[in-house]
Amino acid sequence: MTFISAKPKLRNAESHPANDNRLSALADISILEFIDDDDDVPDIARRAERLGNAVVIVMALCLIVAPAIYLTLAYAL
């Protein structure tokens, strides 16, 4: 049975070209390493949800107010 992994196998230093696009260097970087503490995750999610709700409300208000301003200016002239 063949083992399939999401990470490529690390190669010896002598077997890869001398550039920054090495698969072994890219495979070791994970965004999860930048999260310091698990206690911060619910707080970050809560703030992201509040920001998303605020963006949706502002977009809805702009979709209502912008046509009203346009129609008011169109009939005023």
pLDDT in tens, 39-55: 777 888 899 999 999 99
Residue 20 and residue 39 in contact, taking contact as beta carbons nearer than 8 Å: no
The predicted pLDDT at position 30 comes to: 67
Q: Give the separation between CA 30 and CA 75, rounded to whole angstroms.
A: 57
Q: Could you read off the pLDDT of 1-35 as tens digits, one per residue? A: 555 655 656 555 556 556 656 555 555 666 766 76
23, 8 contact by CB (below 8 A): yes
3-state helix, strand, coil in the chain (%, to 5): 65, 0, 35
How far, in Å, CA of 72 to CA of 60, rounded? 19
Instruction: Give pLDDT, residue 37.
Output: 65
* pLDDT number for residue 76: 79
